[in-house]
């Protein structure tokens, strides 16, 4: 952790090892920095304390971390670089941003929309599922089984983006059983970072929400200025690396394997800036069913605070709208 008082005056002279004993969410390099920072930190210490009590809950969030797929990295203390090298994925395509050495050379100008999995067809979900989901997915195991992928496939490392959305929707009661064909699902996605370079993987939402029109507004300071307002339509799954696979036929890729004729649609729109600043522009097109901030580390960014404080205001509006309707 960085000293929470870093950059507010005198320089930090050692590692930030002094935790705030109340919230245990922030750390300081020295007692003097802690005292100095208290006037600011006291405004958020209680909230952080409450959130830290939910840490166990967050760790159980099934789709944020895959034991099966990252087993090799954890158990053998293998570095990410060598994990990817062994699979021919080191600094390749969307995997580029998954290790430190690749991430450092990334540019936010390329959104990875045309990237494929760079894996053989048996190892990745490059086309529609064989059958529609009849039950909710509750683990990576469920997902891999449904998509017929072996558990040693690394795709979970990238698929946690769409599956976290799926899981969050599930938690607020938006499930495939209460969505009907042609429904619109509006999601506000706050603070996207490296997933902006891996947007092709969001295509899996087409399979997770069959027949639904999903609109995701990606709002955050990492969106490059020249891409502000850009709309992106994703109508396919990322392809595998086999030339003769069915995923290369546009029609096969975009529909579900069951030939049900259900077509899902996924539209992403990019908004540069902080959510509390851009909210009025974003909400013009869509009032959100779900607001999600996958990279919102609780004490990581001071700019989160106004956005977090802003959310209950929207939530209240949501309740009012429901009462009127
Ligand atoms: Zn300090
Ligand atoms: Zn504290
Ligand atoms: Zn590397
Ligand atoms: Zn639509
Ligand atoms: Zn394929």
% residues pLDDT > 90 (the chain): 33
Closest listed ligand to the CA of 32:
1
% residues pLDDT > 70 (the chain): 78
Same domain, 113 and 217: yes
Same domain, 166 and 303: yes
Using DSSP's 3-state secondary structure scheme, residue 315 falls into helix
Same domain, 103 and 237: yes
Same domain, 280 and 254: yes
Same domain, 47 and 67: no
Q: From 226, 234, 219, select the one nearest 266 (Cα to Cα).
A: 234
Same domain, 49 and 116: no
How many angstroms separate the CA atoms of 117 and 113, rounded? Answer: 11
Q: What is the pLDDT of residues 75-93, one digit of tens each?
A: 555 677 888 888 899 999 9
Q: Domain of 7?
A: 1-53
Q: What is the pLDDT of residues 140-194, one digit of tens each?
A: 888 999 999 988 888 988 998 999 899 888 888 888 778 877 789 999 999 898 8
* pLDDT score of 197 more than 70: yes
Structurally, the chain folds into a number of domains equal to 2
Least confident of 129-133, 142-146, 210-214, 298-302: 298-302
Residue 24 CB partners (closer than 8 Å, separation 6+): 49, 52
Same domain, 209 and 282: yes
Strands 213-220 and 184-190: parallel
- Domain end, chosen from 53, 71, 93, is at 53
Same domain, 22 and 89: no
Residue-averaged pLDDT of the chain:
80
CA angle 286, 202, 128 (to 5 degrees): 115
Span from the CA of 46 to the centroid of ligand 1 (angstroms): 21
- Average of per-residue pLDDT across 11-32: 89
Residues at Cβ < 5 Å from ligand 4 ion: 213
Residues at Cβ < 5 Å from ligand 5 ion: 121, 126, 240, 245, 247
What residues form DSSP beta bridges with 219?
190, 271
How many angstroms separate the CA atoms of 190 and 288, rounded? Answer: 12
Give the tokens for residue 126: 């490059």
Span from the CA of 8 to the centroid of ligand 1 (angstroms): 9
Same domain, 212 and 109: yes
Same domain, 21 and 115: no
Least confident of 58-67, 174-183, 198-207, 249-258: 58-67
Span from the CA of 41 to the centroid of ligand 1 (angstroms): 13
Using a 10 angstrom Cβ sphere, with 0-12 exposed, 13-18 middle and 19 or more buried, the burial of residue 312 is: exposed
How many angstroms separate the CA atoms of 40 and 16, rounded? Answer: 17
ipTM here: 0.52
Same domain, 130 and 264: yes
Same domain, 32 and 101: no
- Average of per-residue pLDDT across 289-298: 76
């Amino acid at each position: 952790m960085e000293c929470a008082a870093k950059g507010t005056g005198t320089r930090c002279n050692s590692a930030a090892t002094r935790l705030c004993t109340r919230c245990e969410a922030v750390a300081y390099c020295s007692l003097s920095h802690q005292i100095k920072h208290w006037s600011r930190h006291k405004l958020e210490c209680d909230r952080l304390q409450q959130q830290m009590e939910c840490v166990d809950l967050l760790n159980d969030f099934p789709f944020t971390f895959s034991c099966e797929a990252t087993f090799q990295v954890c158990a053998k203390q293998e570095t990410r670089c060598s994990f990817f090298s062994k699979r021919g994925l080191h600094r390749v395509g969307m995997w580029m941003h998954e290790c430190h050495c690749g991430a450092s050379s990334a540019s936010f100008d390329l959104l990875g929309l045309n990237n494929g999995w760079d894996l053989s067809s048996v190892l990745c979900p490059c086309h529609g599922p064989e059958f529609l989901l009849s039950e909710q997915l509750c683990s990576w195991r469920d997902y891999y089984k449904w998509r017929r992928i072996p558990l040693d496939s690394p795709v979970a490392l990238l698929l946690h983006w769409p599956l976290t959305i799926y899981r969050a929707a599930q938690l607020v009661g938006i499930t495939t059983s209460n969505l009907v064909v042609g429904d619109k699902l509006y999601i506000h996605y706050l603070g996207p970072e490296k997933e902006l370079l891996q947007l092709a993987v969001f295509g899996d939402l087409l399979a997770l929400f069959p027949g639904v029109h999903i609109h995701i507004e990606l709002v955050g300071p990492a969106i490059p200025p020249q891409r502000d307002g850009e709309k992106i339509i994703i109508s396919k799954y990322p392809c595998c690396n086999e030339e003769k696979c069915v995923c290369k036929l546009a029609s096969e890729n975009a529909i579900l394997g069951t030939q049900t004729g259900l077509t899902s649609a996924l539209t992403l729109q990019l908004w540069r800036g902080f959510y509390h600043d851009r909210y009025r522009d974003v909400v013009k097109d869509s009032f959100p069913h779900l607001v999600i901030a996958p990279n919102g580390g609780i004490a990581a960014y001071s700019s989160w605070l106004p956005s977090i404080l802003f959310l209950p205001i929207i939530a209240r509006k949501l309740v009012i709208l429901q009462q009127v309707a």
